């Protein structure tokens, strides 16, 4: 004979997708915040992306300088 499901088992069988909606909403807010935050000027007229690119250029130039030194 088949057992009847209790009330807690019935509640577990009916997922409504609330966690997925919350997860999507939090990811949307984070992505939007990062896009807006990285495109606003930080120091003077440069934004965060331009600062990272200029820092990378200095890093690359320092390697180029060290590799081209006349020492053996």
Tally helices (H) and strands (E) across the chain: 3, 2
Residue matched to tokens 């020492």: 71
pLDDT at 31: 93
Over residues 14-64, the pLDDT tens digits come to 567 788 889 999 999 999 988 888 888 877 888 888 889 999 999 999 988
Angle at 57 between CA 31 and CA 62, to 5 degrees: 140
Is the pLDDT at 13 greater than 90? The verdict is no
Element (H, E) at 35: helix 18-39
Greatest pairwise CA separation for the chain in angstroms: 90
Token pair of 45 as six digits: 């007229």
Question: pTM higher than 0.85, yes or no?
Answer: no
| Domain assignments of the chain as residue spans, ordered by start | 7-67
């Amino acid at each position: 004979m088949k057992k009847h499901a209790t009330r807690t088992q019935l509640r577990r069988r009916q997922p409504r997708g609330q966690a997925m909606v919350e997860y999507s909403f939090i990811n949307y807010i984070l992505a939007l915040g990062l896009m807006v935050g990285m495109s606003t000027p930080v120091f003077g007229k440069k934004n965060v992306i331009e600062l990272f690119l200029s820092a990378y250029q200095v890093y690359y130039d320092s390697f180029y300088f060290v590799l081209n030194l006349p020492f053996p």
